[in-house]
């Protein structure tokens, strides 16, 4: 079997791979690295978690180390993925190396980015919006950029970045090597590839529209009222890091708060958070300080956190591709993982659609509550179910509304004991304010 040492990579990179005990490349790495080293344009698709980042970073950094006059631009759809790519670069290259990198993303101070650019970095990682900002300010010069990487290309188009990509590509040299990596290959990606790539080589690893085989998938049919109690039960019975996915920003913040009230170490990540807060949440989750991360689909792609054991869909995604990406946060790099969907009556039509896409010919879910309400297990450790009176719930197909009644001692229900946040107020700490309701 091919090993990294058999590729013609820079000796610094080979030594670091050995130090990190990365010996055998993944299939996408085995196919992509020789093609990139040969100077080919590349369109590559593979399931999430298959090592696409190193597939383009290793050969590209080899070329940059050999030619200090040239530079590379890596575009990602989200700040989190950009940070992750930059961190991988730092992991592979010692601080003493002459290869400098810059991170250009929204939410970070401009002065800090100006300082990075004055150091003339060879490798620039960023999001399309902030890269365009620097181009308009003329603080970024792409004249010597010989490599362009579009990472998670399908996600960039989904997020509406096509105009930004056009503006950036217009500022790049026509003679360059362009690499497109994507989890899926819809028609708009194929069209974009024809536009930006010259005589590209194509790689497709596995079925990109299906989950990896090592993910154990479960579905629990429950009622709307029992969904949160069932979530508590599942969290109590599972070990290791867990991502809980929801649809809306406000739901993420409020669900994380409810979990904290029930003595779970939980944080929320969504599009309204400032970069500093996003970084704090990700650092706490990676280190294990926070076991549960409640997330919108901003965390569904690109994030590589190997220790994630479980993904729970508290609310279903909008489409099957998003479902595949969500549960792909677990079972990374050949590990095993678990994915659970909590399906209430309002969710069943959406689940039927996802299930039929993944399993053609699958029967529709029955209308009854197949799982039914269950009594708490003995190992609940005193956690409350918040079953007291509460305010209303969202309309059909909407996300539940978490009112401050019952255990929160506020309007909307009978007052219970002092909650986690009330105790914070009594101790002089001001809780965070509610973000406005919006997606991602």
Selection from 243, 211, 316 nearest residue 80 by Cα: 243
Answer with the one of 161, 180, 205 that is the final residue of a domain: 205
Same domain, 252 and 360: yes
Same domain, 169 and 222: no
Residue 173 domain-assigned? yes
Same domain, 174 and 219: no
Residue 159 domain-assigned? yes
| pLDDT digits 0-9 by tens, 36-87 | 999 999 999 876 667 889 999 999 999 999 999 999 999 999 888 899 899 9
CATH of the domain at 130: 3.40.50.300
Same domain, 45 and 109: yes
Same domain, 170 and 278: no
Residue 433 domain-assigned? no
> CA-based angle 337:340:345, to the nearest 5?
170
For residue 71, what is the enclosing H or E element?
strand 71-75
Over range 303-321, report the average pLDDT.
85
Sorting pLDDT into bands at 50, 70 and 90, what band is 402? very low
Q: How far apart are the C-alpha atoms of 28 and 47, rounded to whole Å?
A: 10
The pLDDT of residue 224: 92
Sorting pLDDT into bands at 50, 70 and 90, what band is 107? confident
> Which regions of 227-336 does DSSP assign to beta strands (E)?
241-245, 266-269, 292-295, 308-313
Same domain, 304 and 162: no
Say if residues 272 and 299 touch (Cβ distance below 8 Å): no
For residue 104, what is the enclosing H or E element?
strand 101-104
Query: In 10 A of CB 290, how many CB atoms?
Result: 19
Residue 224 domain-assigned? yes
Same domain, 352 and 267: yes
Residue 347 domain-assigned? yes
Q: How far apart are the C-alpha atoms of 353 and 126, rounded to whole Å?
A: 35
Residue 434 domain-assigned? no
Q: Which residues contact 128 (CB under 8 A, 6 or more apart)?
A: 75, 77, 156, 161, 164, 165, 168
Answer with the one of 187, 205, 223 that is the final residue of a domain: 205
Same domain, 198 and 221: no
The boundaries of the domain holding residue 89 are 4-205
Coil, helix or strand for 148? strand
Q: Which residues contact 236 (CB under 8 A, 6 or more apart)?
A: 377, 379, 380, 381, 383
Answer with the one of 177, 205, 233 that is the final residue of a domain: 205
Q: How far apart are the C-alpha atoms of 221 and 256, rounded to whole Å?
A: 22
| pLDDT digits 0-9 by tens, 227-286 | 999 999 999 999 999 999 999 989 999 999 999 999 999 999 988 888 888 889 988 998
Average confidence score pLDDT of the chain: 80
Residue 89 domain-assigned? yes
What are residue 276's phi and psi, to 5 degrees? -60, -40
Residue 210 domain-assigned? no
Q: How far apart are the C-alpha atoms of 343 and 356, rounded to whole Å?
A: 15
Same domain, 95 and 227: no
pLDDT at 363 over 90: no
Same domain, 118 and 263: no
The size of the chain, in residues, is 440
Same domain, 238 and 292: yes
Domains: count for the chain: 2
Q: How far apart are the C-alpha atoms of 374 and 13, rounded to whole Å?
A: 54
Same domain, 345 and 200: no
């Amino acid at each position: 079997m091919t090993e990294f040492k058999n590729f013609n990579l820079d000796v610094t990179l080979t030594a670091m791979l050995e130090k990190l005990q990365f010996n055998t490349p993944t299939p996408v790495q085995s196919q992509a690295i020789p093609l990139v080293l040969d100077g080919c344009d590349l369109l590559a698709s593979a399931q999430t978690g298959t090592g696409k980042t190193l597939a383009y970073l290793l050969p590209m950094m080899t070329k940059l180390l050999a030619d200090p006059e040239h530079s590379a631009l890596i575009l990602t759809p989200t700040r989190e993925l950009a940070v992750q790519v930059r961190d991988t670069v730092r992991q592979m290259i010692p601080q003493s190396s002459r290869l400098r990198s810059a991170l250009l993303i929204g939410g970070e101070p401009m002065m800090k980015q100006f300082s990075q650019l004055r150091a003339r970095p060879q490798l620039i990682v960023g999001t399309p919006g902030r890269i365009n900002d620097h181009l308009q300010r003329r603080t970024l010069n792409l004249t010597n950029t010989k490599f362009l990487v579009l990472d998670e290309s399908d996600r960039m188009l989904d997020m509406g970045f096509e105009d930004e990509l056009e503006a950036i590509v217009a500022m790049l040299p026509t003679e360059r090597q362009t690499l497109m990596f994507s989890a899926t290959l819809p028609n708009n990606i194929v069209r974009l590839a024809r536009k930006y790539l010259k005589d590209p080589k194509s790689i497709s690893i596995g079925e990109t529209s299906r989950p990896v085989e090592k993910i154990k998938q479960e579905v629990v049919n429950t009622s709307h009222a029992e969904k949160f109690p069932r979530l508590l039960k599942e969290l109590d019975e599972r070990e290791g890091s867990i991502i809980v996915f929801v649809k809306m920003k406000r739901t993420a913040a409020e669900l994380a708060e409810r979990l904290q009230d029930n003595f779970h170490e939980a944080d929320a990540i969504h599009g309204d958070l400032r970069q500093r807060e996003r970084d704090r949440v990700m650092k706490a989750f990676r280190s294990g300080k926070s076991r549960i991360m409640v997330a919108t689909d901003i965390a569904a792609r690109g994030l590589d956190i190997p220790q994630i054991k479980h993904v729970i869909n508290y609310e279903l995604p909008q489409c099957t591709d998003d479902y595949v990406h969500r549960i792909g946060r677990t079972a990374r790099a050949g590990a095993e993982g678990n994915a659970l969907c909590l399906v209430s009556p309002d969710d069943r039509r959406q689940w039927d659609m996802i299930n039929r896409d993944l399993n053609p010919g699958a029967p529709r879910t029955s209308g009854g509550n197949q799982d039914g309400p269950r009594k708490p297990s003995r190992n609940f450790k005193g956690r409350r179910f918040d079953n007291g009176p509460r305010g209303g719930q969202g309309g059909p197909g909407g996300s539940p509304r978490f009112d401050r009644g019952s255990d929160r001692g506020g309007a909307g229900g009978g007052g219970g004991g002092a909650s986690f946040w009330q105790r914070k107020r009594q101790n002089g700490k001001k809780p965070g304010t509610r973000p406005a309701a919006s997606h991602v």
